[in-house]
Amino acid sequence: MLTWLKAKSEGKLAKQICKVVLDHFEKQYSKELGDAWNTVREILTSPSCWQYAVLLNRFNYPFELEKDLHLKGYHTLFQGSLPNYPKSMKCYLSRTPGRIPSERHQIGNLKKYYLLNAASLLPVLALELRDGEKVLDLCAAPGGKSIALLQCACPGYLHCNEYDSLRLMWLRQTLESFIPQPLTNVIKVSELDGRKMGDAQPEMFDKVLVDAPCSNDRSWLFSSDSQKASCRISQRRNLPLLQIELLRSAIKALRPGGILVYSTCTLSKAENQDVISEILNSHSNIMPVDIKGIARTCSHDFTFAPTGQECGLLVIPDKGKAWGPMYVAKLKKSWSTGKW
């Protein structure tokens, strides 16, 4: 039987909330989210309320752990209610805060589970990966979404790209920890500036995931260096331009008829809806894909804020559903020529 831990509240709460960041978020998100911001702020600033989902590794399946999760009252994500949900992916959630211990990385031994924010699986599920498809994870570190993609299907080719060298090491270790050696033959890891990927591999991929660099609201709130936090905030206005450039590169890398999913872990409208609106307005060959059905199906486990977009969802942290922030948008590349 596992030793169960409460949420790492003592260690997490020892961290100070960064007032510079909180004040900045207060001004922006109270306008963008309205009254919902009060609850979101309460959850984001209270790590003892945070929840952790358990994604089981089908390549080293933890049957005993699964029994323990059932005994502890965990339930499976979506509980079979989402159309096209891959049977090979098993993710367990609890309604109460808490987490099980993380496994240590051991060379030669595959880990049995991955702890994550359950909302981070929504971009993966929106991509609807099928066996044999060629898929690009453009900003792949630390690797959780790549691991989740491989729980869904066996792609013909998975390209995991990460431009940051330190995060690239993290990505490689994650893949090594979860993926058996034979499967690594269909996986390529690269360290390319994502903005150049489209020119390097034009119309190469059936599916592309752009989990873009963003204002990571959860971690930014606990910035230990207020000067660094102030610098982040001042540079924040540059992120949408980077995100748009990454998406334009992803569109080039996507074959006609292919699917593109964009995601961030921020609440910021400028980095979410506004970025997608710019792409849709400037690319006549990119079409929005309605994913409202996911929100209807997932309302039992997630709380969604209105986005004003049929192709975009925003998960916001709520009491008993402390998942997110996570924005997800789904697009399709048509066969016509787009504006650039």
Domains annotated for the chain, with CATH where assigned, are 19-50+118-333 (3.40.50.150)
Q: Tell me if residue 265 is catalytic.
A: yes
User: What's the pLDDT at 162?
Assistant: 98
Q: Which residues are annotated as a binding site?
A: 139-145, 162, 193, 211
Which one of the listed residues 91, 265, 298, 311 is annotated catalytic? 265
**To which residue do tokens 């993290």 refer?**
170
pLDDT tens digits along 221-254: 998 888 888 888 998 999 999 999 999 999 999 9
User: What's the pLDDT at 14?
Assistant: 52
- Which of 249-271 are b and which e, b meaning 16 or more Cβ less than 10 Å from the residue's Cβ? bbbbbbbeebbbbbbbbbbbbbb
- Which of 302-334 are b and which e, b meaning 16 or more Cβ less than 10 Å from the residue's Cβ? bbbbebebebbbbbbbbeebbbbbbbbbbbbbe
3-state secondary structure of 65: helix
**To which residue do tokens 């921020």 refer?**
266
Q: Which residues are annotated as a binding site for S-adenosyl-L-methionine?
A: 139-145, 162, 193, 211
Taking 50 as the pLDDT cut, the residues of the chain under it are 1-13, 338-340
pLDDT tens digits along 158-184: 999 999 999 999 999 999 999 999 999
**Rounded Cα–Cα distance for residues 111 and 143 (Å):** 14
3-state secondary structure of 333: strand
pTM score: 0.93
User: What's the pLDDT at 9?
Assistant: 40
